[in-house]
Amino acid sequence: MAMESGTLTYINYVAKVKDTGEVLEATREADAKSLGIFDPVARYTPNLVAVGEGWVLKGLDDALLKAGVGDKLSVEITPNKGFGERDPTKVKLIPEKRFGEKAHELAIGAEVEVEGKVGLVRYIGSGRVQVDFNHRLAGKTLLYDVEVVKAVTEPAEIAKALLLRRLPIAEDKLNVSLDLEKGTATVLLPEELYYLDGLQFIKRASSNDIFKYVKSVTSLTFSEEYRPPVAAKPKEEAKPTEESRPAEVKPEAAAPEEKLSA
């Protein structure tokens, strides 16, 4: 049965460039290892998607609207439904001196930022740098092998899934409670997140997500719990054993007084 627009679902996938076979992404650890793109720092989990809401490329979104839970799909995404066609006007020649002290760090294939736009260095020579501001996958046809794992339907499960979409923690460390009669939700954040960069933005964005997909929630509270530090127990002094007890030192006998003769 096809999923409706707005359905929250978890998907696993492997994404590749059709012409070259370059692997772009894999959501399963086993796939990442077998395809040679495993990153020990990355968190491999199914990706949460709001079907038809633009969370993924349009070509993939369109395919998911025709799919159901448990389906496995092979999706070919052309540039017009992926990262767009290449635009020659987005390739610029920039004087090398514009990069100032960082000019000596430039290298072909490196990413650079110019006037707030990120591009790839394509050529360096004659005091000029050719920078391509097209997305690196512009003009590429992509292949996605997708498995629709499950739909998320229960309010508490939806709220937790939306929070985990933005918070870099394991599911068992996040405590979420809902009172649907009162329209309230409370999130107890673990201490490891208290000083996370951008936490306030994440709270606001996650709140908006929850208000949108859990209609009955009209108030959300983020809670932080502090506890006194645990006092260290004093160390017990080890009792000396016979072997470790220092030997008793007896005073030496006084030497006989030396007499001096005239």
Instruction: List the chain domain ranges.
Output: 1-84+136-152, 88-132, 154-225
Percentage of the chain modeled with pLDDT above 90: 81
| Model confidence, pTM | 0.79
Q: How far is residue 146's CA from residue 137's CA, in Å, rounded to a whole number?
A: 19
Per-residue pLDDT tens over the stretch 131-174: 999 999 999 999 999 999 999 999 999 999 999 999 999 999 99
Q: Which range is least confidently modeled, 25-29, 115-119, 229-233?
A: 229-233
Secondary structure (3-state) at 160: helix
Architecture of the domain whose range is 1-84+136-152? Roll (3.10)
154-225: CATH topology is Alpha-Beta Plaits (3.30.70)
88-132: CATH topology is Thrombin, subunit H (2.40.10)
User: What phi and psi, each to the nearest 5 degrees, are found at residue 73?
Assistant: -125, 150
DSSP at 127:
T
Secondary structure (3-state) at 100: helix
| Structure-token match 């006007």, residue found | 89
Q: How far is residue 254's CA from residue 75's CA, in Å, rounded to a whole number?
A: 102
Res 256 pLDDT > 80: no
